[in-house]
Amino acid sequence: MKRRQLLSALASIATPLRGAHAQGLPRIGILSTLAPNPDHPLVRAFAEGLREHGLVDGQAASLEFRWAVGRVNRMPSLEAELAALPVDVIVTSNNFVTLAAKAASPTIPIVMVVGVDPVRNGLIDSFARPGRNITGLTNEPGQQVLGKMLELLREAVPRAASIGVLVQEGIGHDRALVAEAAARLNLRLLPTPEVRRLPDIEMFFHAIHRDSAQAYLSIGGALVYNAREQVAALALGHRLPGMHASADFVRAGGLMSYGTDLAAPYRRAAWFVARILAGAKPAELPIGQPTRFGQRINLRAAQALGLVTRSRCCCGRLR
């Protein structure tokens, strides 16, 4: 084969490998703590949001996924991979992922989806003017919502005096805020470590059951969210009523929830990505905050936990 023919053949092989990048499309980096699953409901919600802004993968943008498969220690190296490509914007989930992206590059725009207390945790300067290369949304419930979650849990389980808090390490929640909300309701928080790995969730339930907990509060984190069916099954097995921050836990068999629809911020994050790709600076895009909260109750779980009496379930709802 002549040299010119060889080069032509190599070029024809390389072109499909480069894919949409060879067309000069903007690259959107997404780091997920999940196993590879582009059809995950939250990933799908983000893709739908992008389509609403004309950013269809392979046509008007190129999506670069990196999957951590539940191993948070992989995030810094995966974020470094995205920064080295480079990508035009990085989409992150919780604080741990956002901090990894920030460490990988102080200049690439970052859109966080469920940031927790981003000012106190050093991600932004203020909600109105983030002031750095990070913008996006916060899912921080705050004292008022945490108080409401605990009030509803106490209403459902009046006998509850001691509770455990199920939360993933690194999401940046304010322990003092949770403790203050619990103290107002005379609830004692059991000393439980934050979960780091999947087996830690089972250990959490064994620990709070051993310490005579009457209920638990699940603040979450991606690892906990992905294991929501396991959380529901363990809670039922230990006969522990739980309050969760997402209705997806109730759909998975958990007792109750009070919070936002998690798909909504993922869909909304696409707006921030579109603005940044159009030239907006993340430092000048105000942080989005949740405004709609809803309560969900799984009546089947309430019945299994013995919280149904006289044709009514916990919180006075009809069966």
pLDDT in tens, 165-215: 999 887 767 788 888 889 999 999 999 889 988 999 999 999 999 999 999
Do 130 and 237 lie in one domain? The reply is: no
The model's pLDDT over 63-115, given as tens digits with 9 standing for 90+, comes to: 999 998 877 788 889 999 999 999 999 999 888 889 889 998 999 999 999 88
Per-residue pLDDT, 143? 57
Let me know if residue 6 belongs to a domain: no
pLDDT at residue 262, as a whole number: 83
- 246 and 268 together in one domain: no
Instruction: State the CATH number of the domain containing residue 110.
Output: 3.40.50.2300
Q: Are residues 125 and 273 in the same domain?
A: yes
Same domain, 117 and 157: no
Q: What DSSP character marks residue 239?
A: T
* pLDDT for 81: 93
Question: Does residue 223 lie in a domain region?
Answer: yes
Write down the pLDDT at residue 315.
57
Q: What is the pLDDT of residue 115?
A: 86
Number of structural domains (the chain) is 2
What is the edge-to-edge ordering of all strands in the sheet holding 188-189? 188-189, 162-167, 215-220, 242-244, 256-259, 294-297
On whether both 181 and 236 belong to a single domain, the answer is yes
Tell me whether residue 16 is in a domain. no
Least confident of 18-22, 48-52, 230-234: 18-22
Pair 181, 312 in one domain: yes
Residue 10 falls inside a structural domain: no
Cβ neighbors of 225 (< 8 A, separation 6 or more) are 246, 248, 249, 262
Q: What is the pLDDT of residues 2-26, one digit of tens each?
A: 444 433 433 333 333 333 444 689 9
Q: What are the Cα distances from residue 155, in Å, to 108, 184, 302, 317? A: 46, 14, 13, 11
Q: Residue 138: enclosing H or E segment and its boundaries?
A: strand 134-138
Same domain, 194 and 306: yes
Least confident range of 52-56, 110-114, 289-293: 289-293
Nearest residue to 90 via CA among 106, 112, 68: 112
256-284 mean pLDDT: 94
Q: Which domain holds residue 243?
A: 142-259+294-316
Task: Decide if 157 is inside a domain.
Answer: yes
For residues 105 and 179, state if they share a domain.
no
Q: Judging by DSSP bridges, how do beta strands 256-259 and 294-297 pair with one another?
A: antiparallel
Residues of the chain above pLDDT 90, percent? 58
Contact in structure between 290 and 260 (CB atoms under 8 Å): yes
3-state class (DSSP) for residue 113: strand
Give dist(CA 191, CA 132) in Å, integer. 36
Higher confidence at residue 235 or residue 140?
Answer: 235
234 pLDDT higher than 90: yes
35-39, 133-137, 246-250: which has the minimum mean pLDDT? 35-39
Q: Residue 216 forms beta bridges with which residues?
A: 164, 242
Q: Kindly report the number of other CB atoms within 10 A of residue 284's CB atom.
A: 12
